[in-house]
Structure 1
């Protein structure tokens, strides 16, 4: 996996987290498009995930709305995991995949909390 900072480099945990937040923002966008009554809330969620993702890439030592961006990213990974679990519970056709995704987000949350400046292992 190539890092955003350069081709062929091992990605940093902050970059992986940023990508996960962008992915959940896309999920919110998709849900909002197919569920008009939830569209405004899903757009607000998407905007926040994208903003934290961008801040994490631009200034991982900075803050997001007064909170260290690393902490904000960890918190939003946890919120995303809860959202995915809830979505899975209400949509059995995608339940297993969504629960697996939620577990991945929780794993990345723990990794980022413990080693925010680390890099992923070369073998993935």
Structure 2
């Protein structure tokens, strides 16, 4: 599959530039994982223990944290609601090894689409008033 990665407009308004750069980096990630099988998505590349599948799932969580939980004060999406973060603060990264590539791609695509809808029309000067940080490893 061809992933369109468009350079953000340098002469655009602030909102267009911010969203353009965000989409540019989202597309960069998708290009890196496009066509990889389960073995490739779970491969570790020392010295890091992060896998590309773990990164994909982690960034789906990041989308939900920032645009749904922090910006709008929503509860975590169902994908994260029942996770015992205290027993495994890196659950998103570790559990990705048990997910099929299509599941990881769908989770990320859903999170990105949801984020796009959540930021649509939100003023750039809106303050984030809800910060509920989970324990990080």
For the aligned pair, the TM-score class normalised by the smaller chain equals 0.3 to 0.5
Higher fraction of helix:
1
Q: TM-score, normalised by structure 1?
A: 0.40
Q: TM-score, normalised by structure 2?
A: 0.37
| CA radius of gyration, larger in | 2
